[in-house]
Chains A and B, each alone.
Chain A
Amino acid sequence: DQQVKQNSPSLSVQEGRISILNCDYTNSMFDYFLWYKKYPAEGPTFLISISSIKDKNEDGRFTVFLNKSAKHLSLHIVPSQPGDSAVYFCAASAAIQGAQKLVFGQGTRLTINP
């Protein structure tokens, strides 16, 4: 049961354009969402997060949008740069049955073409 899904395993975008990475979740109890970026041979690094009480959070070139009714979040990168080429994971967390639950998506490989 994949509660957090990133349906696009890969995405290719031209340098300077907008990159949009998508993530869907099924459990309405998730109340905090995070995006991580991972380069080969390194651990993931935190990018940006959003609480369920918000619908948008912005940090420099990165903006995360949350649509609770659609159970969908997206990460926008504008403008895209070659260094943004990496695997991006979305994650969702919630307190469920007394325990904190954190679930990651499968990841989307973003390639920025010069």
Chain B
Amino acid sequence: KAGVTQTPRYLIKTRGQQVTLSCSPISGHRSVSWYQQTPGQGLQFLFEYFSETQRNKGNFPGRFSGRQFSNSRSEMNVSTLELGDSALYLCASSLTGPYNEQFFGPGTRLTVL
């Protein structure tokens, strides 16, 4: 069974630009969650999508948005990038939701210059 894949793996952008990250969950998993990992803050929950609907949301500004397609693939968009958005963005999939075991992808390393 293929694992969770994320593209691209690395990305360099400049302030003010926007970026779209992609996540393909494990086949059959309907829940996709996104996290931001920074050295000082650890893993912070961005949002969760289940069957194309955003089901839960963390405490991030509206510049962070996402969507999920009918095949459960998900995209995350960050608009008007700031230096502080530099982080590892992780996506995780699960059958029912992130509150039990979930499977993480390798992450996308975003650097904002």
Contacts and interface: CB of A to CB of B under 8 A. Distances in A.
B41 A106 contact: yes
A40 B105 CA distance: 12
A105 B100 CA distance: 16
Interface residues of A, number: 23
A88 B95 CA distance: 23
Interface string B27-45: 0000001010000111111
Contact of A43 (B40, B92, B97, B98): B92
Given A45-B104, A46-B103, A49-B100, A103 B45 contact: yes
A104 B100 contact: no
Contact of B45 (A36, A42, A45, A104): A104
A69 B107 CA distance: 36
A43 B35 CA distance: 11
Interface string A93-104: 100000111111
A107 B107 CA distance: 17
A107 B43 contact: yes
A74 to B, nearest CB: 17
A99 B99 CA distance: 11
A95 B105 CA distance: 25
Interface residues of B, number: 26
Interface in A1-39: 6, 32, 34, 36
A46 B45 contact: no
B90 A44 contact: yes
Interface in A29-73: 32, 34, 36, 41-46, 49
Contact of B90 (A32, A43, A107): A43
Interface string B1-23: 00010000000000000000000
Interface of B: 4, 33, 35, 40-45, 48, 55-57, 90, 92, 97-107
24 contacts: A6-B42, A32-B100, A34-B100, A42-B106, A43-B92, A43-B105, A43-B107, A44-B92, A45-B104, A46-B101, A91-B43, A93-B98, A99-B57, A100-B55, A100-B98, A100-B99, A101-B56, A102-B33, A102-B98, A104-B42, A104-B44, A105-B42, A106-B40, A106-B42
